[in-house]
Amino acid sequence: MFEDIHWTLGDAPKEQGVYIIAVETLGMVTTSASYWNPVDGWASISPDDKVKGFIPLEEVTNKLPYFWKSDDEPPLTEEQIKRAKARGIRVD
């Protein structure tokens, strides 16, 4: 499911947005999510932290199954699928 998602090594992406980031703090690397823009940089890290890599959050969430989908619910009708696709909603 996630085999084609890879970390981009570096400290800043080219496009603003929300990213999963690998952050080095005092020699330990942890992961979190943060917003980045070219003017302000990362929103949720301290100046002493070093970003080692990042993945666009949308890239990961698009691979996840929808949380509201359950086996108890009837499948979507063709009309519901058609309307969802027309609105740009991904239907698996």
pLDDT digits (tens, 9 = 90+) for 41-71: 999 888 889 999 999 999 888 887 665 666 6
Q: Is the dihedral of CA 22, 23, 28, 31 positive or negative?
A: negative
Report helix, strand and coil shares of the chain as percent, to nearest 5: 15, 35, 50
Quick check: 88 pLDDT over 80? no
What is the predicted pLDDT for the residue at 16?
95
67/81: higher pLDDT: 81
Closest CA to 60 of 31, 30, 23, 25: 31
Average pLDDT, the chain: 86
What is the predicted pLDDT for the residue at 84?
79
